[in-house]
Amino acid sequence: MSKSLLSLSFLFLGSLLFGQSTICGKKNRIHSQLKSNSLSIVQIAQTERYDVHFYHLDLNMTNMSTALSGTVRMDASANESLDSALYELFSGYTITEIRVNGNAVDYSRNNSAIKVPVNALQNEIFSIETDYSGTPPTAATNPLGGAGMSQDDSPTWGNEVVWSLSEPFSAYEWFPCKQSLTDKADSSFFFITVPSNLKAGSNGLLEQVVDLGNGFSRYEWKHRHPIDYYLISVSVSSYVEYNVYANPAGAPNPILIQNYIYDNPQTLINFQDDIDETVDFMELFYDLFGPYPFEDEKYGHCMAPFSGGMEHQTMTTQGFFTKGLTTHELGHQWWGDNVTCASWCDIWINEGFASYSEYLMLENLYPNESAGHMQDVHDNVMNQNGGSVWVLDSLNENRIFSGRLTYDKGAAIVHTMRYMVNDDALFFEILRDFQVAFKDSTANGIDFKEALENATGIDFNPVFEEWYFGEGYPTYSLLWQQNGEDVLVEINHTCSKPSVTATFTNDLDIRFIRPGIGDTIVRFNVTYNSQTFTISNIGSIASSILIDPENWIINQVGTIVESDELSLIEAEDNTMNLSIYPNPSRGTFQIHGLAEKAELTIYDLKGKERKKASISPNQIIDIKNLGEGSYVIEIKINNNKKRFKIITI
């Protein structure tokens, strides 16, 4: 979904490092979160007893009213022996009949929850057909706040439109369904009967339009890919069809981009050039993310009068066409549609990567605009001190779709992770492999962390604890001193939300201006709030020093001061090839790469010395008495020292 939509107050509803164990705990916690704002935990558990395979929506609609009627069939299989199955439909509808395997059955109804007898053995397939009619709720008529179906006229073009928008919990407001992110239907058919002067857009391929001979026509769309409940859509209006084709390198066939544009001569004239750019965007993302997931069907747009877009699978609903909005929704076809967040806690999988798609489009096609765009993203994130990308309250729609956190901070940390990988070819290979590994399925943030680690060998635990689960951002300050041909650099950072995230662990670029030689960028591995490094043989530098000059990290810049207070003995030798393991530690660790005796000092995060000892190569160091938490390990050999952060669990 587009961030720009959120400016309307969302139309559809008016630390310390904790270590691997905490991350695993959060991963497990995700799956205990409520998935619906309309069912109880007990009712949700009942829906998990079966697996949806197929939806067939056969509905009668118009563009002047959200009222609808028809039949929806759901095919499913029992995950265990079932006497009954529970699904959802808004309580305001009149149900004429429900059939299970073709036979009319009695049913119970508790608000939106409908329970029907199925008497199915484990793995047995059963079919539920629901005949119903009525008017979907509005935000005013639904106590839970929905608006899964809307009707309005375009203020600019005057066209009357009815369109659906089900994210995150509103699919049940217009068709009977199971609202579970982790249970995608394997395929779906959408038959929409409308007055013959109208068109109905939906997911998949339009296989035929049947003239019923009574002033009505039936649009028969068939989608043969897995799809999540909230990505099923329909839009009805007086449209004209405008089609273009993309030809990405490696695609077996041209990709249809099918557009339903308001039937107004000026509408297409106004937007045609913008729509045509979708071809370039499709070809770019095909290269960066891998093959378009639905290339055997289509991509397209249906216009509707709202301020943004919604990434309905294979046919986005959009109010207008700008390159940022169009690329965001197209990016969703990979990030959100093919691979969908496993819970609303991890909406980052959808919106963070779709938002980063906007930057990638600018970087590749409009490079003069990319730097300003990322700066705007960072500035918005830093408008407030705190806030996590990971969503704790998965029923709070305003929080799920926070423009500052979910969209902008989500995109910014994808950018940071790309920087940490430090190899664009590898990074985009990781993205493509992730699309393959989780194709037609769901994933969470930890799944992506593990993909990064498996491909790079880098420990991303600190990065995720601080940037994904944590809150805030760092402010970097720098002291430096010329020492012959060497330069001493002290990097300090404070955190905007230190009660939650006290330290940010990431690489950091610093650009040094060297008169007569040219500037150079040095990358530092920041693991502590204050670190001193020596840079050997850099030559004389000017007073012009830039922190994070290419804007890879969300950060503020504090003071940059030349100081004569630094000394070589304080410097951390950035060339010392040492590491600690295991980290996190369960009470002991070793220094890998240590070839001689060294001095060990352990500090807590307030700088208090907690342990000091002389150590030898291969020595096992006992820290059980320190307790759980995060500590700084300082290794000193002669006049050189190196610091590490260690986590005890």
CA distance 112 to 145: 14
What was the pLDDT predicted at 145? 52
Check: CB of residue 646 under 8 Å from CB of residue 576: no
Give the strand order in the sheet containing 82-88. Answer: 82-88, 113-120, 108-110
CA distance 472 to 384: 8
Give one DSSP letter per residue of 80-107, joined into a string.
S-EEEEEEE--TTSEEEEEEETTEE---
What was the pLDDT predicted at 645? 72
What was the pLDDT predicted at 7? 29
pLDDT digits (tens, 9 = 90+) for 375-419: 999 999 999 999 999 999 888 889 999 999 999 999 999 999 999
What was the pLDDT predicted at 140? 64
CA distance 504 to 472: 9
What was the pLDDT predicted at 6? 35
What was the pLDDT predicted at 582? 81
For residue 410, give the nearest of 337, 332, 338 by alpha carbon: 332
3-state secondary structure of 269: helix
CA distance 524 to 550: 14
* Axis-axis angle for helices 410-421, 348-365 (nearest 10): 70
Paired residues of 648 in beta bridges: 585, 629
What was the pLDDT predicted at 536? 83
The pLDDT confidence band at residue 17, using thresholds 50, 70 and 90, is very low
Check: CB of residue 142 under 8 Å from CB of residue 90: yes
CA distance 550 to 390: 26
What was the pLDDT predicted at 575? 54
What is the number of alpha carbons within 13 Å of residue 80 lying toward its C-beta? 6
What was the pLDDT predicted at 31? 40
What was the pLDDT predicted at 585? 81
By mean pLDDT, which of 92-106, 142-156, 571-585 is the weakest? 571-585
**Which H or E run includes 558?**
strand 556-562
The pLDDT confidence band at residue 11, using thresholds 50, 70 and 90, is very low
Residue with tokens 């150079």: 520
CA distance 638 to 328: 54
Residue 145's region, left for phi above 0, alpha for psi from -120 to 50, else beta, is left
Please determine, for residue 2, whether its predicted confidence score (pLDDT) is greater than 90.
no
Residues in the chain: 649
The count of other CB atoms within 10 Å of the CB of residue 320 is: 18
What was the pLDDT predicted at 159? 95
Mean pLDDT within 140-160:
80
pLDDT digits (tens, 9 = 90+) for 108-127: 999 999 999 999 999 999 99
For residue 458, give the nearest of 485, 431, 426 by alpha carbon: 426
Check: CB of residue 514 under 8 Å from CB of residue 480: no
Tokens linked to 199:
């068109």
What was the pLDDT predicted at 253? 98
By mean pLDDT, which of 95-99, 206-210, 371-375, 636-640 is the weakest? 636-640
pLDDT digits (tens, 9 = 90+) for 274-304: 999 999 999 999 999 999 999 999 999 999 9
- Residue 254: asked if its preceding bond is cis (omega within 30°), the reply is no
CA distance 515 to 218: 73
By mean pLDDT, which of 120-134, 147-161, 408-422 is the weakest? 147-161
Q: In angstroms, what CA-CA distances link 65 with 59, 60, 264, 398?
A: 13, 11, 20, 27
> What pTM was estimated for this model as a whole?
0.84
Residue 81 per-residue DSSP state: -
Sequence-distant (≥ 6) Cβ neighbours of residue 175 within 8 angstroms: 55, 57, 59, 72, 89, 232
Please determine, for residue 144, whether its predicted confidence score (pLDDT) is greater than 60.
no
Q: To the nearest whole number, what is the mean pLDDT of the chain? A: 90
CA distance 547 to 541: 15
Residue with tokens 């959009």: 318
Percent of the chain beyond pLDDT 70? Answer: 91
3-state secondary structure of 419: helix
What was the pLDDT predicted at 255? 98
Mean pLDDT within 195-223:
98
Q: In angstroms, what CA-CA distances link 8 with 156, 211, 391?
A: 17, 39, 21
The pLDDT confidence band at residue 272, using thresholds 50, 70 and 90, is very high
Check: CB of residue 571 under 8 Å from CB of residue 533: yes
pLDDT digits (tens, 9 = 90+) for 311-336: 999 999 999 999 999 999 999 999 99
CA distance 134 to 494: 57
Check: CB of residue 229 under 8 Å from CB of residue 74: no
φ and ψ of 115, to 5 deg: -120, 130
Please determine, for residue 218, whether its predicted confidence score (pLDDT) is greater than 90.
yes
What was the pLDDT predicted at 67? 97
Paired residues of 210 in beta bridges: 218
Check: CB of residue 176 under 8 Å from CB of residue 89: yes
By mean pLDDT, which of 29-33, 38-42, 518-522 is the weakest? 29-33
CA distance 315 to 188: 14
Sequence-distant (≥ 6) Cβ neighbours of residue 270 within 8 angstroms: none
Percent of the chain beyond pLDDT 90? Answer: 75
Q: Given CA atoms 444, 449, 450, 455 in this order, what sign does their dihedral have?
A: positive
3-state secondary structure of 222: strand
